[in-house]
Amino acid sequence: MKYQSFWATKPKSYTLEPYSVRIFKQRWYVVGRNCNLNKVRIFALDRISELSSSAKKYRYPKSFDPEVYFHDCYGITNDDETEAVKVVVRVSERQAHYMNALPLHHSQRVVVQGAEFSTLEFYLKPSFDFRQELLSYGADVEVLEPDWLRREFADTFQALMERYSKKIKTLYPLFI
């Protein structure tokens, strides 16, 4: 197949042994062994520009189970280098209703149910997909654990504050 990621300037050719498909956020993916790297990889179907079948046969590995492969994952990202960890977040009461009604991950559990906020715990790989999901809730979510993730979110929000502060000073210099 010819596949072009969003970060590549041109498509690359791959030989893939497909294992399963997965859908995440209205996008379909194929999961399989990238024969070029001899590793399981995930490819978005909408970024495949050419596809052809090969006469070469392969055996679906008995050891591959999509449910097991994505067990500790949120979304489509499964980084072999990342370990699953406990992630604890505090969410506003309003957002907690949504997150409790439609949990983000099967490991999600309520640790504290408060009047103004709830504390939720997850056990998963805090991948890019998961971090983006938490960031999408803005000030309604605060990461409590692990420390490295809390610092990452603080750095992200600090960078946003600096970006918006510069813009506000430019647009409204008399009000600052």
Q: What is the pLDDT along the chain (176 residues), one digit of tens a residue?
A: 999 999 999 999 999 999 999 999 999 999 999 999 999 999 999 999 999 999 999 999 999 999 999 999 999 999 888 899 999 999 999 999 999 999 999 999 999 998 899 999 999 999 999 999 999 999 999 999 999 999 999 999 999 888 888 767 676 666 55
94 to each of 5, 113, 118, 165, how far by Cα in Å?
37, 12, 10, 28
CATH number at residue 150: 3.30.70
Per-residue model confidence (pLDDT) at position 174: 62
Last residue within a domain, chosen from 15, 41, 69: 69
Q: How many distinct structural domains can be found in the chain?
A: 2
Let me know: does 146 contact 87? Beta carbons within 8 Å.
Answer: yes
How far lies 107's CA from each of 71, 121, 123, in Å?
Answer: 9, 8, 6
Predicted local distance difference test score (pLDDT) of residue 38: 94
Domain that holds residue 152: 85-175
Which tokens go with 38? 């001899």
Cα 51 off chain centre by: 26
Write down the pLDDT at residue 165.
80
pLDDT value at position 9? Answer: 93
Distances (CA, A) of 70 to 28, 51, 87, 170: 15, 25, 17, 46
Cβ pair 91, 101 in contact under 8 A:
no
The predicted structure's pLDDT at residue 166: 73
Query: Is residue 55 situated within a structural domain?
Result: yes
Final residue in a domain of this structure, among 69, 96, 128: 69
pTM: 0.84
pLDDT value of position 13: 95
pLDDT of residue 175: 58
Q: Are residues 19 and 54 in the same domain?
A: yes
* 45 in any annotated domain: yes
Same domain, 103 and 127: yes
For residue 133, being part of any structural domain is answered with: yes
Say yes or no: 100 and 130 in one domain: yes
94 and 148 share one domain: yes
For residue 75, being part of any structural domain is answered with no
Name the residue type at position 147. D
My answer on whether 49 and 101 are in the same domain is no
- Give yes or no: residues 98 and 63 share one domain: no
